[in-house]
């Protein structure tokens, strides 16, 4: 499944704004004639409530039923490389101006990261015994297991 540029734009804007997770429940407010998303306990307090999330369907914490960005490994790996929350604001500015370009570049960057840490490029594990070989795998199961903890 391919991510559309406008879905990526919505995802980044929601993450940059610091919104909490997408609510799975909603209740009907007759005074404003609208459904309001909220948590389960608040929704069940009202007469008309419903669960928005459907069991068995994918669910994204940011976009709800649209799980395209969540399922794209290259994009998620790119997003994992960001450390500061301020990075989301920088990405928001970029994605507002050129969403197609951002999608293309960020997916390519994520794919480069995935290729760099592929099992083929990992450091080989030596067959020789290490300095901790022979030590018990868990506490209390070795030769001197009666020592105080």
- Per cent of the chain over pLDDT 90 is 8
- Write the CA distances from 32 to 27, 28, 36, 66, 111, integer angstroms: 12, 9, 10, 27, 47
- Neighbouring CB atoms inside 10 A of 34's CB total 10
Structure tokens, 91: 């990405």
Which pLDDT belongs to residue 8?
85
How high does pLDDT run on average in the chain? 77
pLDDT tens digit sequence for 18-47: 776 777 778 888 888 888 877 778 777 877
**Average pLDDT of the segment spanning 113-123:** 76
**Max alpha carbon distance in the chain (Å)?**
74
**pLDDT band per the 50, 70, 90 thresholds, residue 136:** low
140 pLDDT more than 70: no
Eight-class DSSP state of 125 = P
Structure tokens, 103: 């999608």
Paired with 27 in beta bridges are: 36, 49
1 pLDDT more than 80: no
Q: Are 77 and 117 in contact (CB under 8 A)?
A: no
Q: Are 59 and 67 in contact (CB under 8 A)?
A: yes
75 pLDDT more than 90: no
Q: What residue spans define the domains of the chain?
A: 1-21+59-118, 23-56
Report which of residues 147 and 109 the model is more confident about: 109
Report which of residues 96 and 82 the model is more confident about: 96
pTM above 0.85, yes or no: no
Which pLDDT belongs to residue 144?
64
């Amino acid at each position: 499944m391919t991510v559309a540029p406008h879905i990526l734009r919505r995802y980044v804007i929601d993450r940059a704004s610091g919104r909490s997770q997408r609510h799975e429940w909603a209740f009907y407010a007759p005074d404003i004639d609208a459904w309001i998303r909220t948590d389960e306990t608040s929704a069940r307090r009202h007469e008309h409530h419903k669960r928005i999330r459907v069991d068995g369907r994918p669910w994204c914490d940011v976009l709800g039923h649209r799980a395209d960005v969540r399922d794209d490994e290259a994009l998620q790996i790119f997003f994992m490389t960001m450390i500061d929350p301020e990075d989301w604001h920088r990405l928001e500015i970029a994605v507002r101006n050129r969403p197609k370009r951002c999608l293309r570049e960020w997916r390519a960057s994520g794919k480069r990261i995935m290729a760099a840490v592929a099992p083929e490029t990992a450091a080989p594990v030596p067959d020789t015994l290490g300095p901790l070989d022979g030590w018990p795998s868990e506490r209390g199961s070795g030769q001197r297991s009666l020592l105080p903890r």
